Structure 1
Amino acid sequence: MTKAALCRIIMLALAASLSGCGAGGSGGGIAAASTQGSGGGIGGTGATSSGTIDGFGSIFVNGVEFDTDEAEIEIDGNSASEDELGLGMVVLVTGTVNEGGVSGTATRVVFDQEVEGPVETIERDQDGDSMLITVLGVSVIAERTGTVFEATGFDTLVPGDVVEVSGFPNGEGQLRATRIEKKADFVPGISEVEVEGVVTGLTETRFTLGEIVVDYSNADLSGVPGGALEGGMLVEVHGTLENGLIEAFRVEQEGGVEDAFEVDEEVSVSGTITSFVTIGNFEVNGVTVDASNATLWPTDMVLGNGEIVQAEGSWDGSILRAREVDARRGRIEVEAAVTAVDAAGNSVTLQLAGGTVRVQLDSRTLLEDNTGLAEPMTIDDLRTGDFLEVEAIMVGDSLVATRIDRDDADDDVVQAPVESFATGSSVTLLGITYTTQGAEFENQDDMPLSSEQFYGAVQVGTLVKIKDEQTADGTADEVEFEFEGALDGGLEFENEPSEPNEPNEPNEPNEPNEPNEPNEPNEPNEPNEPNEPVE
C-alpha cells in the first residue's frame, strides 16, 4: 500500500470520528501546516508533477502544495510570476516533495497552453452542461462545471473571442478543457495566435497543421533543431491569423511531458487515459504507464480510455511504473445551498428538499468562485446559504469532491446511482427520495420517455439525474438517465473510434429458375401412305 493510500484511509477514518465530517485539505488554498489530503503520494526528494493547478498557497498540483517562493516560473516561454498562474492551468512542476507527499518545494513551474486563438464555432448540448468549440481548427470540449472560465463564462463565450485553452487531449484529436481564458476580441492580422500540431504539406515557405495553413517564410526557427523543419515534426506556431492563414513569427519543435523526466525519478501525471490496451499498457497525457502493480483509488475504479486519472510512480526511462492510480473526475453531482461548513474537518453539507448531503474536500478539490466574491476561494470563504455546484467521487460511503463551484442560486440537482425506487412513484439518490409524479423523463440521448418506459428500464445502480426546480419541494421536475462511462459532453461531442461496419449480409442467392419443361418432342409425321400402284 502506498503512503498516499494509507494516509487517505487514516484521514477518512479520522473524518468519521469528527462528528461524521469529511477530512482532507481543501483545494484552493489549505493551510500549509495541514497534514490532511488525498493523493500527492510521491514521497522522496526529486520529483516532477504534471497536472492542473487546483489551488493556491503557494500552488496545489496533484495533491501536493508546492512552495513557489524561489521557483522559476515560465508562461509560454516567458518569465512570469505566481500571480500570472491560474486555476485549471495544466502545468509541469519540477522540485522536491517532502516525506508524506503532502507538501514540497518547486524549483520550476512551466505553463504552455494547448491553443490560443479566436473561437470559430460553438455547439451546446441540449442540457446546457457542455459545449464543443473550435479554435484554429482544434475541437475543444468545455463543461459548465468541469472547466474553469476566466474573463468569460460558459454562457457568455461567443465566436470571435480570442481564448487561451488549457486541457487534456482525449486521443481523438480533441481537447477536454480544464481552463478557458478570454484574452481579447479578435482582430484579423493583429491578434496573436498559438497552436500545436504535426507538420504536413511542407514547402519552402509554407506547411499545414490540420486545416490551418502556416506561412513560416519570416519566422524565427531557432527553436527547431538546425533551423530546418521536417514533415511529421511536432511544432508550436506563434503568429497572427488572417483569412485562414497564419503568418508565423516563431516556430518551435515540441516534445512530450516525459522529456522533463529523469530516470528513477518520482513522477506524478494527470490526464486522460488513451491507447488503453491492458492495465499494464496505457497512456496518460501521452506518458506510457504500467499500472500492473498499482493501487487504484477508489478501489472499484475501472481503467479505460477516456477516464481522467492521476498516475504516480517511478520513471524508468520509457515507462511510468505506477504505484497508485487515482480517479480525478467524478460522475456524482449535487447542486444545492450550503446548510453547514466545517472548515476544520474540511466538509460542507448541502440542503436539499428531502434531506442533506455531506461532501468531503481534499488537497485536490478545485474550488472556483463564479460570484466574484473570493479569488482564490477556500473553504473558509464558504457561508451558509451559498449555492454550490459539486462534482464528487463515491469512496466507500463518503463523497469526496473533485471540484466545487460557488454560483448564483438555481434549481436543485442530484446526479447519482439509484439506491432504490418505487415503480411509478419515487426514486432515491444519495439517501434523498424524490416523488416523480408529473416529472418529465428522458433517456441518455435526451429523448423523452414515458413514466412506464423509465421505470421499466431503471435499476438499482443506474446513474440518474434529477432536477428539482426552484423553489425545491422534493418533487422531481426532470428525471434523466445519464451515461456513467462519460463526462458531460462525452456522448455528444467526443469522436468515438468508428465501429467496424457490420459486414453486409450476403444477398440471398436467387432462386434458380425452374428449368424449362422440355418441349414435347414433335410427334413423328405419319408416314405417307404408299401410292397405289398404277394399274
Structure 2
Amino acid sequence: MNRPILKILISLALGASLVTLYSCGGAGGTQVADGGIGGTGITQGRVTSFGSVFVNGIEFNTDSASFTVNDLTGSQDDLAIGMVVRISGSSDTTNATGTADSITYDSLIEGVINNNNIILNNTLTVMQQTIIVDGDTVYDNPIDATLLEDLPPNSEVEVSGFTNGNGTILATRIEVISLAWAGDELEVSGVVSAISGDTFRIGSLVVDGSGIPSIPPEGTFVEVEGNRFSGGLFVAESIDIESESDSAVAEDGEEVEIEGQITQALDVNNLFTLNSQLVDASGTTLSGATSQLTIGRVAEVEGVMNGNILLAEEIELKAAAADRGEISAILGIDNVDVSAGTVTLLGRTIRVDNSTIMENDEEDESASFTLDQLTSSDYLEAKIYTDNNTLVASKLELEQIPSNHNAEVEGIANLVDSSTIEIFGITIDTSGVDDYSFSNQIIEVKGDFVNGVLIADSIKEDD
C-alpha cells in the first residue's frame, strides 16, 4: 500500500495460539501470564484470516453459525479482515479450534472525516473521535486508489477497532464508503457524557438529542444515528443502548477471551481496563506488573466474568514498540514452509500462525490468503516483532512489487561499521546513502537485496 512510516508507539498484534502455551520472559516480545480456559463462552477480537473464521488465534468452524452484521442478518461473506467481532460458542485453546454458534459485527463509526493527520501522527479525526492507526490496521478502499493518508475531509469511512468509549479508537479496520459524504445515515458509538439540556457528548462530538425520546444516563454505552449536522452539532435521529455501562463484555459467570487495548493502567488493587472492560489481574503472574499493564498496550485476556469484572486467568501482552518492525521483499524460491508455518524474507525466517493477519492487497478489496497459495514471485510485506529471539508476523500483506526497489526493512538499527548497519539480523550497506543519522529510533530502509546484503538507496528516520 506504500503507507507512510507508522509512528505510533503502541503494540502490534501477537502471534498466538502457539505462543500462549508458554510464558515469555525478558523486556521484549510477548508477555504471557499462565492460565487459560476453554469451553463455551464469548470470544471478542479482530478477524485475522478466513477459511473458517480466525479470531484470537482460534479457528472457529462456522458451518452452523448465525451472523449479524451491523444489526442485520448476514453471512460470513459480509465479514472482512480486521473487523472486531463477538463470537458465542465453544473453543479448545490447546488445539486452537472452536465452533461458533453466533458471530456479531457492529462497526464503531460510520462517519465523516474531520481531519486527516496520518502523515503527521498516524491519526484521523472521524465524527470528532480520535482514530489511531498502527501497522496492523487494515485499510480497504473499494472505490479508487486513494491512499489512507490522502483521504480528504468529508470522506465517509467505516471504522472497526478497540475503543475506550470516550473518544479514542485504535483502528483495526478502516473502509472507505465515499470520498464525499452525500447526506446518508451516519452513526457513532461511545459513552454518553456531559449532558446539558438537550445535548450530550460522545467523546468530543456534541450531539443534539432534542429529536430522541430521552438521553440515557451518563456512562451508558450507546450507538447514535443521524444524517445531518446543525450549528456544529450532530443531530440524533435515534439512539440505541449497547450496554448500561462501558464495562460489561459478558454476563456474570461467562467465560471470556477478549482482545483489546489497555485503556486504564494497572492500579494498586490489581485492576486495569481493556477496551474499558474492568479486569482483575490478581490471579495471574502479571499481578503487580504496573510497568507492563500500561495504557496503549494491546493484550488478550482470558477469564471468567464476576459481575462486571473479568477475573483474568491468562493475560497475553502484545509486542512493545521497540521490538516491532517490518520486512518486505520478493518471496523467492523455497521460502515458504507450510508445515512449519514459516516464510523466509531477506534470509530471515518468520513465524506465521493463527493470529497473523493475512491480507491480500492485490485484490480489488482486501481479502485473505493462505501460505500454500503463495508463489516465488509474490511480494510480501511482513509486520513483525521479536519473541524469544524468534521473528513472528503480526501481519502479512500480499502486495504489488515496488517499481524502484525490491526490499524494505523497518526497525531499530545496530551500527556494524561506518558503512554497515543491521536490522533484525539483516546486513545493510549504507555506503550509497548520504546525510543520514540514527540513534535508538526506528528507521525505514529501502533498496535492493543482493548476495545476502540489502544495498540501501534511501534511509528515512521515524521520529
| TM-score normalised by length of structure 2 | 0.79
Matched, 1:465 2:457: no
Structure 1: stretches of 5+ with no match in the other structure: 11-37, 222-226, 443-448, 483-490, 492-535
- Mapped partners of 1:214, 1:282: distance in 2: 29
Aligned residues: 420
Structure 2 residue identity aligned to 1:331 = R
Secondary structure of the 2:295 match is: coil
Secondary structure of the 1:263 match is: coil
What are the Cα deviations for residues 80-105 of structure 1, in whole angstroms up to 9, with x where unaligned?
Answer: 22111111111111111136251112
Q: In 2 relative to 1, CA 475–99 (structure 1 residues): closer, same or farther, beyond 3 Å?
A: closer
Higher strand proportion:
2
| 1:179 CA displacement | 0.4
| 1:178 CA displacement | 0.6
- Mapped partners of 1:407, 1:41: distance in 2: 38
Matched, 1:275 2:269: no
Q: Higher relative contact order at CA 8 Å, sep ≥6: structure 1 or structure 2?
A: 2
- Mapped partners of 1:58, 1:258: distance in 2: 29
Which segment drifts farther, 112-121 or 278-287? Answer: 278-287
- Mapped partners of 2:327, 2:454: distance in 1: 14
- Mapped partners of 1:370, 1:388: distance in 2: 10
- Contact (CA 8 Å) 1:335, 1:388: kept in 2 or not? yes
| 1:372 CA displacement | 0.7
Structure 2: stretches of 5+ with no match in the other structure: 1-15, 24-31
User: Paired residue for 2:298?
Assistant: 308
Identity of aligned residues (%): 28
Secondary structure of the 1:113 match is: coil
- Contact (CA 8 Å) 1:41, 1:102: kept in 2 or not? no
- Contact (CA 8 Å) 1:117, 1:163: kept in 2 or not? yes
Secondary structure of the 1:475 match is: strand
Structure 2 residue identity aligned to 1:474 = L
| 1:385 CA displacement | 2.2
Q: In 2 relative to 1, CA 183–409 (structure 1 residues): closer, same or farther, beyond 3 Å?
A: same
Listed as ranges, the matches of 1:15-30 within 5 Å are: none
What are the Cα deviations for residues 52-87 of structure 1, in whole angstroms up to 9, with x where unaligned?
Answer: 111122211111112223223222222222111111
Secondary structure of the 1:100 match is: coil
User: Paired residue for 2:29?
Assistant: none
| 1:384 CA displacement | 1.1
User: Paired residue for 1:331?
Assistant: 324
What are the Cα deviations for residues 324-346 of structure 1, in whole angstroms up to 9, with x where unaligned?
Answer: 32234561321112121112221
| 1:265 CA displacement | 3.0
Secondary structure of the 2:77 match is: helix
- 1:251 aligned to 227, 236, 239, which one? 239
Which segment drifts farther, 73-82 or 313-322? Answer: 313-322
User: Paired residue for 1:498?
Assistant: none
Structure 1 residue identity aligned to 2:293 = L
Q: In 2 relative to 1, CA 259–124 (structure 1 residues): closer, same or farther, beyond 3 Å?
A: closer
Structure 1 residue identity aligned to 2:52 = S
Q: In 2 relative to 1, CA 345–101 (structure 1 residues): closer, same or farther, beyond 3 Å?
A: closer
User: Paired residue for 1:362?
Assistant: 353
What are the Cα deviations for residues 474-529 of structure 1, in whole angstroms up to 9, with x where unaligned?
Answer: 333444565xxxxxxxx8xxxxxxxxxxxxxxxxxxxxxxxxxxxxxxxxxxxxxx
| 1:275 CA displacement | 1.4
- Mapped partners of 2:401, 2:331: distance in 1: 11
Listed as ranges, the matches of 1:142-181 within 5 Å are: 142-143=133-134, 146-151=137-142, 153-155=147-149, 157-169=151-163, 173-181=167-175
| 1:363 CA displacement | 0.8
Q: In 2 relative to 1, CA 251–464 (structure 1 residues): closer, same or farther, beyond 3 Å?
A: closer
Matched, 1:344 2:372: no
Matched, 1:87 2:81: yes
Which segment drifts farther, 432-441 or 236-245? Answer: 432-441
What are the Cα deviations for residues 150-178 of structure 1, in whole angstroms up to 9, with x where unaligned?
Answer: 42642553323211101123688321211
What are the Cα deviations for residues 22-46 of structure 1, in whole angstroms up to 9, with x where unaligned?
Answer: xxxxxxxxxxxxxxxx999854322
Matched, 1:121 2:115: yes
- Mapped partners of 2:112, 2:19: distance in 1: 46
Structure 2 residue identity aligned to 1:347 = T
Matched, 1:241 2:234: no
| 1:209 CA displacement | 3.6
- Mapped partners of 1:257, 1:197: distance in 2: 7
| 1:117 CA displacement | 0.9
Secondary structure of the 1:175 match is: strand
Structure 2 residue identity aligned to 1:89 = M
What value does the CA root-mean-square deviation take over the aligned residues?
3.4
| 1:217 CA displacement | 4.2
Q: In 2 relative to 1, CA 89–214 (structure 1 residues): closer, same or farther, beyond 3 Å?
A: same
| 1:293 CA displacement | 4.5
